[in-house]
Structure 1
């Protein structure tokens, strides 16, 4: 009798190194009374269409907190993938390949940055529903500045000029541009394997647009304090993550 293959899963990955130069210990620093990474774990666990939440870390304390919050930490990340210079895509690919060697069949990987606590479960679900025909969906926010209007670069002559366009547009007439906010990446499995070798821009991607207030990426203490202020302002101090 032939056994049926296991259905392909959508999983969430959360990559969290122990080292941080900008804000030491930031991934487990209490954010609204809860370790920062726990907010992202809870958001992922709340998604109906995610069948597993996995954390890749080199840090024992992060691993323990992640497990207590309900995530799976299948291994301790190898040292060569936990340096300041290690790229994130090889880390995600390493985790996916490990799970596949354990017998998992993976269709999509939702990578969630633990330093983006202001997203919510609904954002992840909506990103999963956005453009299933493309290789990758990335979360973005409307950019504060625009290369067609007020972003300039310095040329070889030392003078500045607009990065794009001819400088004859009003702000409201300039093409809309977005900034990657790093919060959510929805990968089809083959695209992740390709990007891990050739880079993110080698695949076809589409945006999932998030509000600016949800798009803070915590790297410094100022970012942390600002994110907590935004959390209270928009959610009234709700600490459920």
Structure 2
């Protein structure tokens, strides 16, 4: 099985300035994802895509096998994620002359994942019959119980209603929050399906304390706190 891991890290960020190179436990944020991918033992190559020379230099220092310069039109605030991953894989295949069977993308802004999460997600995917996989955590709010929206009259209604109303959150159907940590595709789905969620998409569950995606200063503080609580686990990535 030929696998590639891609990590797409833009130079610009509005929510948290320069977040992909911002230090956590004395290391750039990006470095944690690179080391997790390398230490997993899963991948033929780990490729980092960026529009930033600084990020690509950091990626090389921490062990990325392939550095991909991302075109400006794939690195704007409005750019979708999937085309950037596709560009990275295409460049990697041109460089290595390898046609990958399994494509795995991990988000640099979700550094709390463990190597075991990566290994478990890939194993679950390759043992299953889905065309792709996303990771998620149990949702704090349920659209059947306490997630609401405004209707056309401006009044509150539940986001999803059942024929039999739910009176306890525990009785609601189980729901998940996507945590933007790990995405996996088989080759056919990767090149033929543009959507992230399809009819045969699998879900790999991760705990909340490893599912924070850094999108704000508050997120960064939470990740920093959680990493400090288990710093020996995250520092071991660099030994």
Above 0.5 in TM-score?
Answer: yes
Shift of 1:203: 5.2
Whether 2:100 is the aligned partner of 1:106: answer yes
Shift of 1:237: 7.2
State the alpha-carbon separation in 2 of the partners of residues 116 and 238 from structure 1.
Answer: 13
Partner of 2:29: 36
State the alpha-carbon separation in 1 of the partners of residues 130 and 175 from structure 2.
Answer: 20
Give the conservation status (yes or no) of the 8 Å contact 2:56–2:67. no
| Equivalent position SS for 2:197 | helix
Q: Which runs of 5+ in 2 are unaligned?
A: none
Shift of 1:18: 0.1
Whether 2:74 is the aligned partner of 1:81: answer yes
1:43-58 to structure 2, matched below 5 A, reads: 43-58=36-51
State the alpha-carbon separation in 1 of the partners of residues 130 and 118 from structure 2.
Answer: 16
| Equivalent position SS for 1:239 | helix
What is the number of residues matched between the two proteins? Answer: 232
Partner of 1:149: 145
In terms of mean alpha carbon deviation, does 71-80 or 204-213 score higher?
71-80
Give the conservation status (yes or no) of the 8 Å contact 1:141–1:215. yes
Q: 1:138 aligns with which of 134, 146, 154?
A: 134
Shift of 1:235: 4.3
Give the conservation status (yes or no) of the 8 Å contact 1:39–1:240. no
In terms of mean alpha carbon deviation, does 112-121 or 92-101 score higher?
92-101
Shift of 1:137: 1.4
Shift of 1:207: 0.8
Shift of 1:170: 1.3
State the alpha-carbon separation in 1 of the partners of residues 62 and 225 from structure 2.
Answer: 24
1:190-205 to structure 2, matched below 5 A, reads: 190-196=188-194, 199-202=195-198, 204-205=200-201
Partner of 1:174: 172
In terms of mean alpha carbon deviation, does 61-70 or 47-56 score higher?
47-56
Whether 2:114 is the aligned partner of 1:120: answer yes
TM, length-normalised to structure 1:
0.91
Q: 1:183 aligns with which of 181, 184, 202?
A: 181
| Equivalent position SS for 1:114 | coil
Distance 1:164 1:203, change over 3 A: closer
Distance 1:183 1:238, change over 3 A: closer
- 1:190-236 per-residue CA deviation (whole Å, 9 max, x = no partner) reads 1111233xx22345211110000100011222211110111122445
Shift of 1:99: 2.4
Give the conservation status (yes or no) of the 8 Å contact 1:12–1:44. yes
State the alpha-carbon separation in 2 of the partners of residues 79 and 201 from structure 1.
Answer: 26
- 1:82-135 per-residue CA deviation (whole Å, 9 max, x = no partner) reads 111111101111111222333111001110000111001110000001142211
Measured on the aligned residues, the alpha-carbon RMSD in Å equals 1.5
